């Protein structure tokens, strides 16, 4: 049965609530019938009324309380309504949740998951469309996870809640919620690793003309380009990690990148000092692609406008991806 990105997350939350009575969900407007701004928590409060807690409009308080609950043995899942508001959470994550285990030599654990939707594409404007996950990639003790339409978002969320002993920032790109998840029988794809796997997808059995490294929200755009370019016999390999806060295993390079001399690294964050630049650095440090040209493509260094034509001018779109690919392989 085909699942959407949203349905996978919804089912995962119902599953973990049923499996573990210590799982508690906190956030703004998450009580039924509303069920959250993007409906990921819809139905939870009806089935688990004592463990789904609506909070005041204070993101700092949500994560602060959740951190305390985690220290006391609960497994809180804190929803931050928009990723833009993660700036209000930074102090609680940086100076509390992520430090306790390191400060007290793992005598304390903080099994906290902070869920939040990121990204544009919905016309929500400058304060509700940003991609801010790169601000959190350098925090010791914090895992930043971002599923794509090629991953199983529910499996990643379940693992984050039930298996991780430390804090996880779980980033959900809002443009993906309504999309059907890709399966091995719909596209050539395989996974590497467990827990937070890397997905490798190809639009052909041939040697790739270009390898694209990306994650999360851009998986939809790259998928569109891969399908369109199949007809033009342009062979694309896409590599999508789900765990952003650490480098990929070097075996990924050996198996899936070294054979290609053209590489594109892309995300929808602003340029510089983020996942794209770290990935380029990782490629040059751990691979034999020194004779290859590694290209990058990011959003513009500005705010995200509300009007679609202006938003498209700022963000990475399928059209920009296709243009970049043609220029790189020409």
State the catalytic residues: 128
Write out the two tokens for 237.
């390999």
- Interhelix angle 219-230/318-329, nearest 10 degrees: 50
- b vs e for 93-115, b when ≥16 Cβ sit within 10 Å of the residue's Cβ? bbebbbbbbeeeeeeebbbbbbb
- In whole angstroms, what is the distance from residue 310 CA to residue 224 CA? 21
- In whole angstroms, what is the distance from residue 185 CA to residue 188 CA? 7
- In whole angstroms, what is the distance from residue 189 CA to residue 318 CA? 20
Query: Which helix (H) or strand (E) segment is 191 a member of?
Result: strand 188-192
SS3 288: coil
The residue ranges of DSSP E strands in 36-93, in sequence order, are 52-54, 75-79
- In whole angstroms, what is the distance from residue 25 CA to residue 114 CA? 10
SS3 299: coil
Q: Which of 327, 328, 260 is closest to 292 using CA atoms?
A: 260
- In whole angstroms, what is the distance from residue 125 CA to residue 189 CA? 34
Q: How many CB atoms are closer than 10 A to CB 174?
A: 23
Q: Which of 18, 8, 54, 50 is closest to 34 using CA atoms?
A: 54
Cα-flanking dihedrals φ and ψ of residue 321, to 5°?
Answer: -60, -45
SS3 168: strand
CA distances from 282 to 214, 237, 249, 289, 290 (A): 14, 18, 10, 11, 12
Cα-flanking dihedrals φ and ψ of residue 144, to 5°?
Answer: -110, 120
């Amino acid at each position: 049965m085909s699942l959407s990105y949203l349905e996978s997350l919804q089912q995962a939350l119902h599953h973990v609530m049923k499996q573990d009575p210590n799982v508690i969900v906190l956030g703004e407007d998450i009580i039924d019938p509303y069920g959250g701004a993007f409906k990921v928590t819809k139905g939870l409060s009806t089935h688990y009324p004592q463990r789904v807690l609506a909070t005041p409009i204070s993101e700092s308080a949500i994560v602060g309380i959740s951190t305390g609950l985690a220290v006391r043995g609960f497994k809180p899942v804190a929803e931050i309504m928009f990723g833009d508001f993660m700036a209000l959470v930074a102090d609680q994550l940086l100076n509390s949740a992520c430090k306790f285990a390191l400060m007290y030599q793992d005598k304390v654990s903080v099994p906290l998951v902070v869920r939040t939707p990121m990204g544009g594409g919905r016309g929500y404007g400058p304060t509700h469309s940003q991609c801010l996950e790169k601000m959190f990639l350098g925090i010791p003790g914090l895992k930043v996870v971002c599923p794509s339409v090629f991953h199983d978002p529910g499996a990643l969320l379940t693992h984050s809640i039930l298996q991780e002993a430390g804090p996880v920032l779980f980033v959900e790109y809002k443009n993906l919620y309504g999309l059907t998840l890709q399966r091995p029988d719909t596209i050539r794809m395989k996974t590497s690793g467990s827990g937070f796997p890397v997905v490798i997808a190809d639009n052909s059995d041939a040697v790739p003309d270009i390898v694209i490294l990306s994650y999360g929200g851009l998986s939809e755009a790259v998928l569109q380009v891969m399908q369109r370019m199949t007809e033009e016999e342009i062979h694309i390999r896409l590599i999508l990690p789900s765990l952003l806060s650490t480098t990929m295993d070097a075996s990924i390079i050996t198996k899936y990148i070294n054979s290609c001399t053209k590489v594109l690294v892309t995300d929808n964050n602003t340029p510089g000092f983020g996942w794209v630049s770290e990935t380029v650095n990782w490629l040059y440090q751990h691979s034999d692609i020194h004779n290859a040209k590694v290209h990058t493509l990011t959003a513009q260094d500005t705010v995200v406008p509300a009007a679609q034509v202006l938003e498209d001018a700022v963000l990475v779109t399928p059209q920009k991806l296709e243009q970049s690919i043609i220029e790189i392989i020409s």
